[in-house]
């Protein structure tokens, strides 16, 4: 079985941490690097979290690159209080992991994207699960990559349901709607894994208990990290039944699109200030154009996905 080359673009984050674990555990994935973003925390914190988690999972071979520290329309980024409430002050459920033994790569995340697109072409899948600032910057620097990359499956947006930051805006898109609009309107083949499907895909403490019972360092740490997130979902009344598997669902769909059903559209993102800021919606200007570039996931086989998720993560945590 030929593995697919994958780059994760993460604002690591509890569910981003689960996305790392899923990508490492799926035998069909060759994770060639992680590009870091700001979002759930500051860029430097998110990047360090990725290094720490890779080390916990025995994968110091995967390079981590620094992305951009704030949106393309601002000069600065502050972590939102709600991000700390959901992901902890340190982004990973306030669980303390050892300081990483290695540094970030010298090359920028934007240049890594461009190099990988030229090297791997259609074999390359990119999974942004934070703001789209880095990918938009890469497209701006080398527009040719839009025609090279195999697929971009991103976690973000909401088409058939309400947003989670405002009634129309999902958190990742809300961080940098202009960058997201540029990505949507490029030639990239995109799959949108938004709140439409991620809010249906829930994890509970029944599952994290299984990881803890493995008796390994990674099983315990991931159970503690994820329980913080499940508690936050409960206490903030986001969902009392469990936490949404936003980011790892995007990884699963990137490799196996049959986890979701989709509709094909040309999409845009509203980035003008006002009540619709951050909304992901069909692009009226292209309603009659052929070959829409965005597949929007609108339903998910959550039972089959959850089984794959648990099979993969149990196996990975058993070994580390």
* CA-based nearest residue to 46, from 82, 88, 1: 88
Catalytic residue among 11, 15, 181, 247: 11
Specify the residue, 129 or 153, whose C-beta has the smaller distance to ligand BDR: 129
Least separation, in Å, of the C-beta of 244 and Ca ion? 11
Asked if 181 is an active-site residue, the reply is: no
* Residue 129 binds Ca ion (CB under 5 A): yes
Angle at 263 between CA 260 and CA 269, to 5 degrees: 105
Catalytic residue among 70, 87, 246, 312: 246
Mask for 230-249, x = binds ligand BDR (CB under 6 A): ----------------xx--
* Residue 16 binds Ca ion (CB under 5 A): yes
Output the six-digit token pair for 136.
């938009």
Q: Which one of ligand BDR, Ca ion, none is in contact with 170 (Cβ closer than 5 to 8 A by kind)?
A: ligand BDR
* Residue 15 binds ligand BDR (CB under 6 A): yes
Beta carbons within 10 angstroms of residue 206's beta carbon: 8
Q: Which one of ligand BDR, Ca ion, none is in contact with 227 (Cβ closer than 5 to 8 A by kind)?
A: none
Contact 278, 177 (CB under 8 A): yes
* Residue 48 binds ligand BDR (CB under 6 A): no
Candidates 95-103, 165-173, 233-241, 261-269; binding stretch for ligand BDR (CB under 6 A) = 165-173
Specify the residue, 110 or 173, whose C-beta has the smaller distance to ligand BDR: 173
Output the six-digit token pair for 29.
């994935």
Output the six-digit token pair for 207.
């599952």
Residue 300 bridge partners (DSSP): 260
Instruction: Single out the residue of 129, 191, 208, 218 in contact with ligand BDR (rule: CB under 6 A).
Output: 129
Q: Which one of ligand BDR, Ca ion, none is in contact with 171 (Cβ closer than 5 to 8 A by kind)?
A: ligand BDR
Asked if 11 is an active-site residue, the reply is: yes
* Residue 155 binds ligand BDR (CB under 6 A): yes
* Rounded CA separation 231/152 (Å): 31
Q: Which one of Ca ion, ligand BDR, none is in contact with 207 (Cβ closer than 5 to 8 A by kind)?
A: none
Going from the C-alpha of 41 to that of each of 10, 38, 93, the distances in angstroms are: 11, 6, 12
Can you give the binding site for Ca ion, defined by CB under 5 A?
Answer: 11, 13, 16, 129-130, 247
Can you give the binding site for ligand BDR, defined by CB under 6 A?
Answer: 13, 15-16, 40, 129, 155, 164, 170-172, 246-247
């Amino acid at each position: 079985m030929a593995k697919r080359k994958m780059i994760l673009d993460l604002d690591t984050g509890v569910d981003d941490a689960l996305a790392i674990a899923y990508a490492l555990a799926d035998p069909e994935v060759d994770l060639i690097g992680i590009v870091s973003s700001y979002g759930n925390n500051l860029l430097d914190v998110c990047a360090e979290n990725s290094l720490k988690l890779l080390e916990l999972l025995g994968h110091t071979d995967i390079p981590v690159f620094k992305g951009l520290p704030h949106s393309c329309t601002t000069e600065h980024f502050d972590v939102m209080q709600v991000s700390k409430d959901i992901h902890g002050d340190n982004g990973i459920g306030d669980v303390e992991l050892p300081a990483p033994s290695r540094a970030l790569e010298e090359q920028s995340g934007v240049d890594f994207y461009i190099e990988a697109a030229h090297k791997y072409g259609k074999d390359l899948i990119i999974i942004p699960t934070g703001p789209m600032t880095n990918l938009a910057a890469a497209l701006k620097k080398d527009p040719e990559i839009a025609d090279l990359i195999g697929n971009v499956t991103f976690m973000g947006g909401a088409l058939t349901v309400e947003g989670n930051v405002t009634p129309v805006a999902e958190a990742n898109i809300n961080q940098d709607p202009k960058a997201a609009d540029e990505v949507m309107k490029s030639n990239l083949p995109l799959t949108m894994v938004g709140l439409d499907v991620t809010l249906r895909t829930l994890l509970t403490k029944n599952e994290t208990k299984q990881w803890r019972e493995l008796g390994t360092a990674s099983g315990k740490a991931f159970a503690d990290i994820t329980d913080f997130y499940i508690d936050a979902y409960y206490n903030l009344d986001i969902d009392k039944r469990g936490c949404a598997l936003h980011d790892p669902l995007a990884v699963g769909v990137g490799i196996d699109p049959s986890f979701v059903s989709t509709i094909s559209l040309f999409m845009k993102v509203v980035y003008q200030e006002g009540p619709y800021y951050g909304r992901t919606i069909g692009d009226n200007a292209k309603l009659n154009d052929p070959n829409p570039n965005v597949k929007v996931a609108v339903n998910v086989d959550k039972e089959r996905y959850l089984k794959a998720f648990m099979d993969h993560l149990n196996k990975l945590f058993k070994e580390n």
